[in-house]
Amino acid sequence: MVGQGETDELKAQVRNLNFYYGKNRVLKNVNLDIVSRKVTALVGPSGCGKTTFLRCFNRMHDLYPDNKYEGEIILYPENINIVSKDVDPRMVRMQIGMVFQKPNPFPKSIYENVVYGLRIRGSNQKGKLDEVVERSLRLAALWDEVKDRLFKPAYDLSGGQQQRLCIARALATDPQILLFDEPTSALDPIATAKIEELMEELKKKVTIIIVTHNLQQAARVSDYTAFMYLGELVEYGSTEKMFTNPSNKLTQEYITGRFG
Amino acid sequence: MYFKIRRSEYVDIIFAIFGLVVCFAILSIIAILLGDLIISGLPRLTAKFFLSFPSRFPEQAGILSAWVGSLLVIFITAVCAVPIGVCAGIYLEEYAPKNWFTNILEINIANLAGVPSIIYGLLALGLFVYMLNFGESILTGGLTLGLLILPIIIMATRESIRAIPQDIREASYACGATKWQTVRWHVIPYSMGGILTGVIIGVSRAFGETAPLVTIGALTYIAFLPTSPLQPEFPFVSFKWLFDAFTVLPVQMFNWISRPQKGFHINSAAAAVVLMTLSLMMNAIAIYLRFRIRRKIRW
């Protein structure tokens, strides 16, 4: 499907995924390959199901009643179907981290925010935690700004710093995939630029899927782009091709700003 | 046009004056009541008043058995109602599935908060005194008031849990947390301020309750203290006090005020000052705690 002739390794493969809110079918036969250590952007007009799709990857929908998955999202190399009923959503969330639209640090210290994932896995050795805090904050490009105030409340940070703290929190447990749900929509342009820059670094270590409203952002940060419309995946390909020479008319109209 | 605008400005001013007058009227009524109580009660507020049992002679009568009884009853009330109420609130907000059963449960809890307190007294008389044979004891009194404040605590707990943004829960789950971990690390700590406030308001309500305790038979002349919970001999603790007869401050006041002698009325006023002071102190603690804990948590 990727059609690049590259020998890129697959991280995940979505096969005939349908998703229902109650009786309402909001994702329709979605098929998509997620390439390892690349950024895949999901774009499309509001209400097209991009966020719903993203939240299937870490089984967020299981928190609310009356939702149903059909089809498969196979995670490689484990080769497990993460939307299967037999798979514990917690096991999925331990492998797949998420960064939300609005920065949502816990009202605790910076340090406690980062180590939360380890604490709930029962890890309490001070040395190990300290090490993870430094590593994660460095990865999230936040270490230099906060290293002197690790035990101060996370809410004292600016919005952009809070969002990078949330990224550090997600990175602390070495996820295989990191999901970004419009991570910069609540941030100013400078903070946005910092996070985009950060993604460039992060993709060396982790596979990224990002939902974005901002087409320029998709063009800047992603290697692959998937265009969704009304719950269907319309077109998928390398970002370069999608933005210069899309094969589908709908994609072309959306990319050129004729609707959306 | 112009005149109409002028007229509506007058209405504005008139309404503001009216509101101010009403507020002052209410405040001054409360101030007069309090002032009257303090003026008539204050001379009786000596150490002896706190350390004497009730007596046939108003000058010798005191509130020792009443305040000890109040403290013990409230202790039982808090020990029973707080854990149950807080757990019920957490269950209803975080665990309970949204279906017809939990809907009925929720409506009933909201209604329970509005049931007149004497009804709780009747329930307690039938259940604790006659069926379970706890007698007209501290245990019965504490459990009765516990039932009474249970809905208050449950509602305060739920209210304060609901104020936690869903984002925070999602963030916790997205890190791989279980429901219990999310409750233990986030829901309970962040709602603690509201829960504590609810608990204190509930307890201070229980402090002043009279009717249900009169119903279960607390309106008696008590000139002794309950058995001490600490004993000189092995096993050093005793739970016999749970089954001792008791009186509490508001019941003692009620007892005194219903007598003809003027002296007892003064005693009653003095006891009222003590009760009011304790109530106000508890409310002050509630406000302080809410302020302290809220200051630490922002979203």
Chain segment B25-37, per-residue pLDDT in tens: 999 998 998 888 8
Cis peptide bond upstream of B250, omega within 30:
no
pLDDT computed for residue B296 by the predictor: 66
Task: Provide the terminal-to-terminal Cα distance of chain A, rounded to the nearest Å.
Answer: 26
CATH assignment of the domain containing B224:
1.10.3720.10
Query: What DSSP letter does each residue of A134-199 carry, written as one string?
Result: HHHHHHTT-HHHHTT-TTSBGGGS-HHHHHHHHHHHHHTT--SEEEEESTTTTS-HHHHHHHHHHH
- How far is Cα of residue A106 from the mean position of the Cα atoms in its chain? 19
- CA B268/CA B54 separation, integer angstroms: 11
Residues B187 and B61 in one domain: yes
- Run of H or E residues at A253: helix A249-255
Check B176 against A90: CB less than 8 A apart.
yes
A114 to chain B: nearest residue by CA? B175
Q: Rounded CA gap, A239 and A216, in Å?
A: 11
Please tell me whether residues B92 and B193 are part of one structural domain: yes
Contacts of A173 in chain B (CB under 8 A): 175-176
- Taking an 8 Å cut-off on Cβ atoms, the answer to whether A106 and B167 are in contact is no
State the Cα–Cα distance between residues B41 and B181, nearest whole angstrom. 53
- Quick one: B71 and B151 in the same domain? yes
Q: Determine how many CB atoms are found less than 10 A away from the CB of residue B26.
A: 10
Cα–Cα distance measured from residue B258 to residue B265, given in angstroms and rounded to the nearest whole number: 8
Q: What phi and psi, each to the nearest 5 degrees, are found at residue A70?
A: -135, 145
Residue A1: per-residue pLDDT: 45
Under 8 Å CB pairs connecting chains A and B tally to 66
Same-domain pairing of B29 and B170: no
* Backbone angles phi and psi of A40, in degrees to 5: -110, 125
Say if CB B190 and CB B168 are below 8 A apart: yes
Q: How far apart are CA A4 and CA A203, in angstroms?
A: 19
The tokens describing A198, both together, are 């950060």
Q: Which chain B residues are closer than 8 Å to A107 by Cβ?
A: 168, 190, 296-299
pLDDT value at residue B1: 59
Contacts with B, A 144-173, CB within 8 Å: 153, 155, 166, 169-170, 173
- CB-CB: which of B98, B177, B178 is closest to A65? B98
Burial class of residue A228 in the structure, from the number of CB atoms within 10 Å of its CB (0-12 exposed, 13-18 middle, 19+ buried)? buried
> Are residues B299 and A107, on separate chains, in Cβ contact within 8 Å?
yes
Q: Which two tokens stand for residue B110?
A: 């909201």
Q: Which two tokens stand for residue B203?
A: 């307890």
Per the structure block, which two tokens stand in for A204?
């060396």
CB nearest to B175's CB, from A63, A117, A155 = A117
Do B10 and B137 share a domain, yes or no?
no
Tens-place pLDDT, residues A97-142: 999 999 999 999 999 999 999 999 988 889 999 999 999 999 999 9
Judged by CB atoms closer than 8 Å, whether chains meet at B178 and A120 is answered as: yes
- Residue B298: its pLDDT value, please? 61
Q: Do B190 and B143 share a structural domain?
A: yes
CA within 13 Å, CB half, A77: 1
In whole angstroms, give the CA distance from residue A187 to residue A205.
24
Query: What whole-number distance in Å separates Cα of residue B44 and Cα of residue A61?
Result: 66
Helix (H) or strand (E) holding B21: helix B2-41
Residues spanned by the domain of B20: 2-42
Contacts of A51 in chain B (CB under 8 A): none
- Chain A positions touching B177 (Cβ under 8 A) are 90, 116, 120
CA atoms within 13 A on the CB side of B25: 6
Q: What is the side-by-side order of every strand in the sheet holding A67-75?
A: A24-35, A10-21, A67-75, A80-81
Which residues of chain A make contact with B181, given a CB cutoff of 8 A? 120
Domains of chain A are: 1-84+211-260 (3.40.50.300)
Q: Which residues pair with A19 in a beta bridge?
A: A27, A69
Residues forming beta bridges with residue A178, ordered by sequence position: A97, A208
- Bridge partners (DSSP) of residue A237 are A225
Q: Which residue in A160, A109, A134 sits closest to B296, CA to CA?
A: A109
* Amino acid at site A26: V
Paired strand residues for A177: A96, A207
Give the mean pLDDT per block of 10 residues along chain B (299 residues): 72 92 94 88 79 77 82 89 93 89 88 87 85 83 90 92 92 94 93 88 86 78 72 70 78 84 83 87 84 70
In terms of domains, do B166 and B264 share one?
Answer: yes
HSE of B58, CA atoms in CB hemisphere, 13 A: 19
Stated as kind and residue range, the H or E segment containing A26 is strand A24-35
Rounded to a whole number of angstroms, the distance from the CA of B186 to the nearest CA of chain A is 8
* Shortest Cα–Cα distance, B111 to chain A (Å): 27
Q: Do B31 and B94 belong together in one domain?
A: no
pLDDT in tens, B179-232: 999 999 999 999 988 888 888 888 888 888 888 888 887 766 777 777 777 666
Q: pLDDT digit of tens for each residue in chain A (260 aa)? A: 444 445 578 899 999 999 999 899 999 999 999 999 999 999 999 889 999 999 999 999 999 988 999 999 999 888 999 999 999 999 999 999 999 999 999 999 999 999 999 999 988 889 999 999 999 999 999 999 999 999 999 999 999 999 999 999 999 999 999 999 999 998 999 999 999 999 999 999 899 999 998 899 999 999 999 999 999 999 999 999 999 998 899 998 888 887 76
Do B27 and B138 sit in the same domain of this protein?
no
Of A93, A121, A155, the CB nearest to B174: A93
Q: Report which of A157, A120, A118, A109 is spatially closest to residue A136, judged by C-alpha positions.
A: A118
**Contact assessment for residue B34 and residue B276, using Cβ atoms and an 8 Å cutoff:** yes
Distance between CA atoms of residues A75 and A59, nearest Å: 13
Residue to mutate among B100, B166, B175, with most A CBs inside 10 A, is: B175
Domain total in chain B: 2
pLDDT of residue A131: 93
Closest residue to B190, CB basis, from A102, A107, A117: A107
Q: Do the Cβ atoms of B259 and B267 come closer than 8 Å?
A: no
Residues B249 and B164 in one domain: yes
Put simply, the answer to whether A63 touches B173 (Cβ < 8 Å) is yes
Strand A67-75 versus strand A80-81 pairing type: antiparallel
First to last CA, chain B: 48
pLDDT computed for residue A3 by the predictor: 45
Q: Which residues between 175 and 204 in chain B have a beta carbon less than 8 angstroms from any beta carbon of chain A? A: 175-178, 181, 185-186, 190
The enclosing H or E element of B101 equals helix B100-112
Residue contact B171–A121, C-beta within 8 A = no
Establish whether the linkage from the previous residue to A77 is cis, with ω within 30° of 0: yes
For position B47, what pLDDT does the model report?
A: 77
Contact list, A105 vs chain B (CB under 8 Å): 171
- Same domain for B258 and B184: yes
Q: Are residues B52 and B129 in the same domain?
A: yes
The structure tokens listed for B205 are 């309500």
